[in-house]
Amino acid sequence: MKLHRGLVAAVADALQSIFVQNRQADRVVEQLLKSNKKWGARDRAFLAEHVYDIVRWWRLIKYVSEKEHVSDQPGFWEIVGAWLIIKPLHLQNAEANQLPDWSEWMYLRQDVVLARYQDALAIRKIAGSVPDWLDEVCSRELGDAWDDELAALNRPALPVLRANTLKTTRDQLADLLGHEQVELLPGLPDALVLKKRQNVQQLESYQQGLFEVQDAGSQLIAPYLDIQPGMSVIDACAGAGGKTLHIGALLRQTGSVLSMDVEPFKLAELTKRAARSGMTNVETIVIQGLDSIKNLAGTADRLLLDVPCSGLGVLRRNPDSKWKLKPAFLDQIRKIQWDILSNYAAMVKKGGKMVYATCSILPSESEEQVQRFLKSFPDEWTLISEQRTSPARDGFDGFYMALMQRK
Ligand SMILES: C[S@@+](CC[C@H](N)C(=O)[O-])C[C@H]1O[C@@H](n2cnc3c(N)ncnc32)[C@H](O)[C@@H]1O
């Protein structure tokens, strides 16, 4: 594809917004696409793909362009140029681009970039493009499995849809979207994978609430609660409601769902999404300290704790979090997870069940928290089962879930 100066400049500007102004990659791309309505489909795809690829391979590209130690303004044009040079070697089936003779690339030496690329391949944290501290933490916690997980987390994920069974079935949805566009996923009764990336949220079927975009790993969590009709379910870290909506579909308008969070704006979004999905048995509560939890002691048949976490299981979708996460945040978030698990469990009735879930590949946020909980409350709680999805093994995002029962 012939390179257009305007598009390359837009990629460089987007990187500046992400790395200098610290903005979220998906927001930056969305805004750029919205404000450049004249770009055709190929241009739009070029911009989105190149921004995400460069964010994903940021450390590797800085290394090959000899900017490894420039943290502030590394020269975004040269970064884009270096990526265009190594991309055909680094990604399968990537189109090669002839770099035009533009002044911004005057000092970019193709031979140096290619030689440094070969050197980089021998150093995991550079070839796999992760910060030193993250490579150390993951390698310590996962051992040899980290190599494969890292490789899988660096592959972009295709969008997975969940048919909203309050309004349709998976087969009807596949008919509507076109069978050539989608694939089924064995073991996930409501899931469809889109064969090609596209903005499905613009489709009328989405506006009508016939489906949600939800990764396959995430679609395993609500069913893990073992929900029966008529139950009262609390989703205590409900956010904008991805799992609340799935719980609603499993309850089939029987029973009730109480969705809680500390962020009112997320619950407001949840309420809108629930209305679109046709779910009528949901209420929301903004958590204001532990009193909100104590008031609900012993009221839930089922409790979902989809706790805040590092998000290291979903790096395929949010590659910029590799650069935004900090070690101190990990310590802080583990403490919050423990506070939630040890305090919120009291909302479950005797004999009721709870799922503790994370989208992290780290045992310290997942298995180890659950083990600590079971050791701290041996007379009250028992583990029924636990499960992990692995980006390397399953091709899903990396989720963890543990099902526990109150004695
Ligand atoms: C992993 S996200 C939840 C995603 C959501 N369940 C979904 O499926 O879309 C974790 C949520 O926990 C919320 N949170 C953070 N601290 C909390 C706390 N102390 N109690 C309850 N929720 C909390 C965050 O605001 C965030 O929405």
Q: What is the pLDDT of residue 196?
A: 86
For the segment 15-23, the average pLDDT, to the nearest whole number, is 93
| Residues 232-236, mean pLDDT to the nearest whole number | 98
Query: Band of the pLDDT at 243, cuts 50, 70, 90?
Result: very high
Question: What's residue 56's pLDDT?
Answer: 97
Binding site for S-adenosyl-L-methionine, by residue number, is: 261, 306
Q: What was the pLDDT predicted at 199?
A: 81
Task: Choose one of 307, 310, 347, 400 to mutate for the ligand 1 pocket test, by most ligand atoms within 8 angstroms of C-beta.
Answer: 307
Residues forming a β-bridge with 194: 182
Report whether pLDDT(72) > 80: no
Ligand 1 atom nearest the C-alpha of 308 is 10
Distance (Å) from CA 108 to ligand 1 centroid: 45
Where residue 201 falls among pLDDT bands split at 50, 70, 90? confident
Ligand 1 atom with least separation from CA of 358? 1
Q: Which residues, listed in sequence order, are joined to residue 182 by a DSSP beta bridge?
A: 194
Q: Is 237 labeled as catalytic in the residue annotation?
A: no
Cα-Cα end-to-end distance for the chain: 63
Mean pLDDT of the chain: 95
- Confidence category of residue 96, pLDDT binned at 50, 70, 90: confident
Least confident of 28-37, 148-157, 216-225, 372-381: 28-37
For the segment 341-379, what is each residue's pLDDT rounded down to a tens digit? 999 999 999 999 999 999 999 999 999 999 999 999 999
Nearest CA to ligand 1 atom 13: 237
List, chain by chain if needed, residues with CB within 6 Å of any ligand 1 atom: 236-243, 261-263, 266, 287, 306, 308, 336, 340
Domain boundaries, given as residue ranges, for the chain: 5-129, 216-406
What CATH homologous superfamily does 216-406 map to?
Answer: Vaccinia Virus protein VP39 (3.40.50.150)
Q: What's the confidence (pLDDT) of residue 389?
A: 96
Architecture of the CATH domain 5-129: Orthogonal Bundle (1.10)
For a pLDDT cut of 90, what percent of the chain falls above it?
A: 88
* Residue range 298-355, pLDDT digits in tens: 999 999 999 999 999 999 999 999 999 999 999 999 999 999 999 999 999 999 999 9
pLDDT band at 97 (very low <50, low <70, confident <90, very high): confident
pLDDT recorded at residue 240: 98
Residue nearest to atom 15 of ligand 1 (CA): 308
The confidence score (pLDDT) of residue 98 equals: 83
271-278 CB contacts, 8 Å cutoff, 24+ apart: 273/212, 273/240, 273/241, 273/245, 274/241, 274/244, 274/245, 274/248, 276/207, 276/208, 276/209, 277/164, 277/166, 277/167, 277/209, 277/212, 277/245, 277/248, 277/249, 278/164, 278/166, 278/167, 278/209
